[in-house]
Amino acid sequence: MRLKSLFLFTLFLTFSLALTVQAQTIQPTPGPVNTDANISWPPPVYVLRGQFTVRGSANLPNMVSYYLEFRPLADDLSAPNPAAPWFPVTVPNPAAVKDDVLGIWDTTPWPDGVYELRLTLNLRGADPVYFRVAPLRLENNPPPFAITPTPAIGLIEPAAATATALAQTIRPTVIAPPLAATPTAFDATPRVVSRTNANVRRGDSTLYEAFAALRPGQEVPVIGISSFGTGWYLVRLPDGRQGWVAPSVVEFFGDVARLPRVDPPPPPTPTPIPFTPTPALAPNLVAGNFRFDPPSPQCGQTFNIYLDVANFGNAPSPSTIVLVQDFRNADGSFQTSTIGGIPPIQPGQTINVGPIPLTVATWYNEDHRLVMTIDPDNAVFETTKADNVKVAIYNLPKAGCP
């Protein structure tokens, strides 16, 4: 019995050593780590679940803002296509952070799998600085065999008890989820559960008409996800109708890899808005003039976007974001996206938001359509949303693209 326990203990230490070597091998940032631009927690080859606290530093000179984002890795742990979209973890934050909390990553809406996490620092007058951690495993639904049963007292020999205690000490990534969130079996069927009274719309943005609503806690199947990279889900209602819901108002369950990419319908043609009484106090954010720096974007080269945002309402607006999406103009196919932070704006004030860095490396020598949407998640109550979008058409020269 002691020989068997010693063998198991030796095997566990060998596995731990191999995992440590692998983590050192795939360190995403070669060379010395910049102590003012890094993610210190979680490390590579770590298991995450639930509301996970990401720590590190974002404290470079001339920093405008920082934000966290993520995307899934391939099955062989390789990075996806460079044009694959990143999904936001946090909105841009202008406050410097030094060896502290960078943000909270809510992993619960996303399917279990292997992901990469990236910290982006936007700098004034310079290219953005990135720090990437990969691979990271999301495991909100641990398999039953991942839970080690507690042996009865008195039935473990001293050597085996020592090995068990050591194994429990050096396994930092096994985190017990709340009992209410532990399913008896993983159901891979894509579906969403409404967090509140959620609008169901005819397309993947608030520009489209809402024709139905989900009750709080109502579950409906998901049959697709927007091919434009907005993250909106195409759902089927109990009466058979189909519509789109925003990811910010629902919880997703199941395997996102099963979802087909679906093209939303063309954006609705603006119609005159009937007169309604102006709220006593409400902001009204308006997208104004914009510019590129450099003025002519080049294929594969990062350029910055600057957008004027005005508050024409009669109340201050809270902090929000601007979503920038690039589409091929010929067929409307989504290419890439990024976000920029918008600070609070006083009534009658106009601010210039930027720099918002973007790199487009597809369909060169063709026209592209850039859509800039203020407050895409409808977090700010405004008198109208019709003036929150700015569209730009530009041609993308080949430059250094192969």
Averaged pLDDT for residues 369-381: 92
Residue 256 sits at the vertex; the CA angle it makes with 250 and 262, to the nearest 5 degrees, is 85
Architecture of domain 191-262: Roll (2.30)
Angle at CA of residue 133, ends 123 and 45, nearest 5°? 170
* pLDDT confidence bin for 145, thresholds 50/70/90: low
Least confident residue range of 121-125, 131-135, 217-221, 305-309: 121-125
Q: Residue 149's pLDDT band (boundaries 50, 70, 90)?
A: very low
Q: How far is CA 90 from CA 120, 277, 308, in A?
A: 11, 35, 22
Cα–Cα distances (Å) from 166 to 9, 18, 161, in that order, read 9, 17, 9
Could you tell me the end-to-end alpha-carbon distance of the chain, in angstroms, rounded to an integer? 63
Number of H helices, E strands in the chain: 2, 23
* 43-75: pLDDT as tens digits: 998 999 888 999 999 999 989 889 999 999 887
Tokens of 121: 């620092």
Q: Which part of the chain is CATH 2.30.30.40? A: 191-262
Output the pTM of the full model: 0.34
Nearest to 169 by CA among 6, 1, 3, 9: 9
**What distance lies between CA 118 and its chain's CA centroid?**
10
> Using CA atoms, how far apart are residues 144 and 107, in angstroms rounded to an integer?
20
Q: Which of 17-31, 64-78, 316-330 has the lowest mean pLDDT?
A: 17-31
Higher pLDDT: 303 or 150? It is 303
Q: Residue 84 — pLDDT band, cuts 50, 70, 90?
A: confident
Provide CATH 2.60.40.10 ranges for the chain: 285-396
CA distance 129 to 88: 16
**CATH code of the region 285-396:** 2.60.40.10
Q: Range with the lowest mean pLDDT among 22-36, 147-161, 255-269?
A: 147-161
